[in-house]
Structure 1
């Protein structure tokens, strides 16, 4: 249900990330990247941090106009059926995994506009039964590289381009896509860099890179946040 007038900023839920230490707050914190929040605000949205909890996710999400699943640490490999854990898997948190997976499933069920970034893409993939490669032979951390975007995809329409320079920080990638998901962008080495779910009720696209890193200066990257907020405003 669209509750947002054109004079009101659509409310965009961003699941918080746990932080053991944060300057000036003294204790552990729940955080979101400033560049991510600013990109949503610049697009005309009202970013709202969402506290990770184990129950009531769908009811809590129903008050929002859109959802942004951000980056973060790795999902526990048992979440996608892996029998062992690679030594490079890091920052696994059971509550974070449970909440993010619930958010992904609930957002898709509700038809809420959903943009998933980096870990967020992996979360949606696993939520729909897909698997991940736990550690790439050559990872994409601290790397900006070109990606090719599939023509006619929501991603291409949002970015306004069939090629983009992607700021990446990931050592995992999609192995088997989840049910119904299609790859909409790839790096030169074949790594899936975008996913979509044709036929889904709401607007949804996912990228493996971090568009917020360069959104302040790259219209193609800011276009993803603009498209999310636009879909949230329009109610689909």
Structure 2
């Protein structure tokens, strides 16, 4: 009998329209789902329920308890008020209060319970804000942002990220115009770009496996073992967590 695949929860992203479904939808990137599947996981899109922008911690914890791991994917920007900014920069886009409320609580819940967690791009920013950190709303315009950009990142030796990727330097496929400001409580920087941008985080003393990257490993995971290694590590940790 074949062992069942570890179940990986991936909060959906709201889409105003999708041609195949005719109306508004909840989606996840195909490349992301396929990377989890290649790693041996069962990707499961879950509804980000947070009426009025506030998620019930007990409800979120109960929903996540049935899963073996969590993947917080990329997406639009967090509302600046979530990290203490009273005004939004003109470049801030696709803010959704319900998405923010659910993602922030999902991050807190997974970290508190030791549920294996991989956070990607927006997901890294969510974790940072959930732990009291801030964001730089815009990196300084098109000449400074990391959109449609493939660039090297230096990975800290001995980190979970280095063990997962199997390399000390990786080629990161990026799409973001924001970056971390103040680092959240307990978080450690484990990778940076040449311009100093924080590219990865881990949590000292975390009860479970956790790493976060500012780039999109799913973009190149089909051809880059270092990027696929992040998904493999998540699924392995999820399998161990289930035992």
Q: TM-score, normalised by structure 1?
A: 0.97
Distance in 2 (CA, whole Å) between partners of 1:23 and 1:34 is 15
Match for residue 107 of structure 2 among 104, 109, 129: 104
Distance (whole Å) between structure 2 residues aligned to residue 214 and residue 6 of structure 1: 29
The DSSP-based 3-state class of the residue aligned with 2:204 is: coil
Q: Secondary structure at the match of 1:169?
A: strand
- 2: distance between equivalents of 1:45 and 1:83? 40
Partner of 1:68: 71
Aligned with 1:217 (options 213, 218, 223): 223
Moved more, 203-212 or 17-26: 17-26
Q: Residue 135 in 1 paired to residue 138 in 2?
A: yes
How far apart are the structure 1 equivalents of 2:13 and 2:220? 21
Q: Is the 8 A contact 1:6 1:233 kept in 2?
A: no
Aligned partner of residue 101 in structure 1, secondary structure: helix
Tell me whether 1:126 sits opposite 2:129 in the alignment: yes
CA RMSD of aligned residues (A): 1.1
Partners of 1:89 and 1:150 lie apart in 2 by 30
| Equivalent position to 2:181, from 150, 154, 175 | 175
Query: How many residue pairs get matched?
Result: 232
Q: Deviations over 1:193-226 (max 9, x none)?
A: 0000011000000000000000000000000000
What is aligned with 1:187? 193
> Is residue 164 from structure 1 mapped to residue 167 from structure 2 by the alignment?
no
Please give the secondary structure, in 1, of the residue aligned with 2:163: helix
Provide the residue aligned with 1:43 in structure 2.
Answer: 39
The match for 2:53 is none
Structure 1 runs (4+) greater than 2 angstroms displaced: none
How far apart are the structure 2 equivalents of 1:206 and 1:52? Answer: 20
Q: Is 1:25–2:31 an aligned residue pair?
A: no
1:234 to 234, 237, 240: 240
- What CA distance in whole angstroms lies between the structure 2 residues aligned with 1:220 and 1:169? 18
What CA distance in whole angstroms lies between the structure 2 residues aligned with 1:109 and 1:229?
19
**In the TM superposition, what is the alpha-carbon distance from 1:6 to its structure 2 partner?**
7.7
Measured at CA, do residues 101 and 163 of structure 1 come closer, stay the same or move farther in structure 2, by a change above 3 Å? same
Q: In the alignment, which residue of structure 1 is the partner of 2:88?
A: 85
Which one of 146, 149, 152 corresponds to residue 146 of structure 1? 152
TM-score by length of 2: 0.94
